[in-house]
Amino acid sequence: MGAQSIFVMTLSTTIGSLSLHTPLLTGSGTFGHDASALSFLNPDDLGALVLKTVTPQPRPGNPNPRMAEYEGGILNSIGLENRGLHYWRDKVAPELAQIAVPVIANAGGHTLEEYVEMTIAFSEMEGVEGIELNLSCPNVEGGTRFATDPIALAQVVAACRVVTEKPLWAKLSPNVESIVPFAQAAEQAGADALTVSNTFLGLLVDWRTRQPQLGRGFGGVSGSGIRPLALRFVYESAQAVEIPIVASGGAASAKDVLDFMVAGASAVQIGTAAFRTPDLLSKIAQDLRALLKEDGSTIQTLIGSLEWPSL
Ligand SMILES: Cc1cc2nc3c(=O)[nH]c(=O)nc-3n(C[C@H](O)[C@H](O)[C@H](O)COP(=O)(O)O)c2cc1C
């Protein structure tokens, strides 16, 4: 076995039936609508490309400004801007079949029927390996309806489950008191994995203008400031369900990725941290290889290995 294969095995992970050669994924909406991120990311370093949410109809998104920075990360209210299913099916999907990494398409909708429509469409696209249901966007009217009511969430997941055999991930909202009922509802409804989680509802204001910094007022907080909050939800979800957890929230280094994995994640999405350093994923992959070699461990042995203090 060559040195390269040993490296590949060290970082390899599985999310249900999907085998990924690294645990590093892009976060939906932070690496674009198509596969163009592969022009600056080495496919060997990337486990899967998770693309921006697509909705049945095109959406113009929210009024500007849509992003504001603070010392812990950013606040955004993009509002699921996208060109809609027809454009995506005709222009984006055909290219995805040619690329070297698995693609997870992300489905958005306002109603159960819209999620089902997106799931059927993605199921028929050759280049889509799995489907992530965005049940948790805080930046659109009614965007968290399904993520803040476990019964509604289970109905959407169950309805999408029956129309696809592709891996189906439910992306949960952090804007709840406890994530456990949502994680369990998604699992019971047939999700193959959970993405934990999306952005936290937040607000930045400018005291001089007496106005919110974003055109829509509230937005979703992402970046390193939310990492401990996301880590808690990842740990609690992993304790509550058997299906794999994909972490999302503030990861910016190999150490952060391993922290999420020890807490129970089988893979980790990187979003906001890559805005400053677009090839950050490749740097993290290199650092992961070095850290695991030094520790004599593999990703598989680390997942869920957190030892909780006995009181
Ligand atoms: C500008 C921006 C756009 C986003 N768009 C989407 C989206 O379209 N669909 C989605 O499921 N999540 C979206 N997210 C949430 C991210 O995928 C991720 O869950 C969140 O930002 C937390 O991870 P991070 O701190 O690594 O960025 C977006 C986040 C940002 C910052």
Residue 23, domain CATH: 3.20.20.70
For residue 164, what are the CA distances in angstroms to 14, 128, 167, 200, 205? 19, 12, 8, 29, 43
- Quote the pLDDT of residue 210: 98
The DSSP bridge pattern shows strands 205-206 and 211-212 to be antiparallel
Tens of pLDDT, residue by residue, the chain (311 residues): 444 444 456 899 999 999 999 999 999 999 999 999 999 999 999 999 999 999 999 999 999 999 999 999 999 999 889 999 999 999 999 999 889 899 999 999 989 999 999 999 999 999 999 999 999 876 666 656 788 899 999 999 999 999 999 999 999 999 999 999 999 999 999 999 999 999 999 999 999 999 999 999 999 999 999 999 999 999 999 999 999 999 999 999 999 999 999 999 999 999 999 999 999 999 999 999 999 999 999 999 999 999 999 98
Whether 130 is in a domain gets the answer yes
Write out the two tokens for 254: 């190999």
Rounded to the nearest angstrom, the distance between the alpha carbon of 293 and the centre of ligand 1 is 31
Per the structure, the count of domains in the chain is 1
Extract the tokens encoding 228: 């401990």
pTM higher than 0.75 for the full model? yes
Q: Which two tokens stand for residue 162?
A: 């029956």
- The answer to whether position 72 is within a domain reads no
Q: How many residues does the chain have?
A: 311
* Ligand 1 shell residues, CB under 6 Å: 27-30, 52-53, 74, 76, 78, 80, 106, 134, 137, 171, 198-199, 222-223, 226, 248-251, 270-273
Please give the distance, rounded to the nearest whole angstrom, from the Cα atom of residue 62 to the centre of ligand 1: 15
pLDDT score of 3: 47
Alpha carbon distance, N-terminus to C-terminus of the chain: 45
pLDDT score of 133: 97
Q: Which residue has the tokens 């060559």?
A: 2
**Cis omega (within 30 of 0) for bond into 150:** no
Pairing of strands 193-196, 200-202: unpaired
* Residue 85 exposure: Cα atoms within 13 Å on the Cβ side: 18
Q: Note the pLDDT of residue 126.
A: 95
Q: Radius of gyration over alpha carbons of the chain, in Å?
A: 18
Asked if residue 206 is part of any domain, the answer here is no
> What is residue 22's predicted lDDT score, i.e. its pLDDT?
97
CB distance 140 to 134 below 8 Å:
no
> Would residue 21 count as lying in a domain?
yes
298 in a domain, yes or no? yes
Range of the domain at 189: 3-62+78-199+220-302
Of 25, 26, 30, best ligand 1 pocket probe by most atoms within 8 Å of the beta carbon: 30
Q: Is residue 214 part of a domain?
A: no
- For residue 212, being part of any structural domain is answered with no
Ligand 1 centroid to 230 CA: how many Å? 13
* Residue located nearest, by CA, to atom 28 of ligand 1: 29
Question: 205 in a domain, yes or no?
Answer: no
- The three-class DSSP label of residue 23 is coil
